[in-house]
Amino acid sequence: MNILNNTSIKIKLFLIFVIPALVLLYQIASSVIQKSSVVNEAENLSVSLQIAIKASSLVHELQKERGATAGFLGSKGRKFSNTLTTQKQNTNQKIDALKTFIKSQNIEALQKSFVKDMSQAISRLDNLNSIRNQVNSLSIKKSDAIAFYTNTNGVFLDSVATLARYSRNPKIIKDLNSFVNFLYSKERAGIERAVGAGAFSSDKISTEGRIKFNNLVAEQNSYIKSCKILKSDKETFYYDTLIQGQVIQDVEKMRNILLTTQSMNNFNIDPNVWFNTITKK
């Protein structure tokens, strides 16, 4: 009887003290693991975003190099030579900055698909010097040179776009999607700069080139609209306040010349003026 009583007491003690303690420990452990997971996700996303920002800075320089390249080839090497030389140096600095930062990070901890996409984008830069040499010797078609830069930029921007998949924070997802829409719009503006530089350098544009130019303007507006939808009224107001003034008006005037001149040549526009003005925009 005593044995049964002792056993009963032990069971009661176990139920009263041990099980609640185990449950509490489990809850604490689960909370720690969950918080640790959130912290790790935040840290990894922070590193990924820093890579994305450096990649977008590189794309910005590649966009300018593409525009100067188009002007150089469109003028058969008579214009944009100095601009292109300087721009290559700027591009190289951003390439080095991106590669150096990536090497300093534990990228194995980042999302594998993001790392894979970014690695593919960087690997395309292995062909950059070959393209540059062909441009210098005027042995590459303007359309092929522009396509190289455009395709490379596309891979970089698409890799940035994938980051929105990896966050569980709705605001971060919304901000990332808005940022990517802005980058896509800016890329279309960069292609517009290249097409315009080539057209004004050669002082002519084809029907196909005019259609492409018009589509680029429409795509920019569409991406900016998507970007603004995801932003607050204050941020949208700031954008609308910023994107106005003489530079914007000058770009519109030169755009209209390319789009409406009946002869499709003899534009009487200095390609350097176009390049510098739309770059300011």
pLDDT digits (tens, 9 = 90+) for 118-155: 999 999 999 999 999 999 999 999 999 999 999 999 99
Helix (H, G, I), strand (E, B) or coil at 140: coil
Structure tokens at 192: 């517009």
DSSP assignment letter at 265: B
Which pLDDT score is estimated for 36?
A: 44
pLDDT one-digit tens code per residue, 83-107: 999 999 999 999 999 999 999 998 8
Residue 199: pLDDT over 50 = yes
Closest CA to 224 of 274, 261, 259, 183: 183
HSE, CB side, 13 Å, CA atoms: give it for residue 3: 0
List the beta bridge partners of residue 265.
204
Conformational region of residue 141, where left means phi above 0, alpha means psi within -120 to 50, and beta covers everything else:
beta
Which pLDDT score is estimated for 195?
A: 94
Please give the Cα distance from 175 to 54 (Å, whole number): 17
Which pLDDT score is estimated for 41?
A: 66
Query: Which amino acid type is present at position 147?
Result: A
Which pLDDT score is estimated for 2?
A: 54
Q: Name the more confident of 29 and 265.
A: 265
Which pLDDT score is estimated for 187?
A: 96
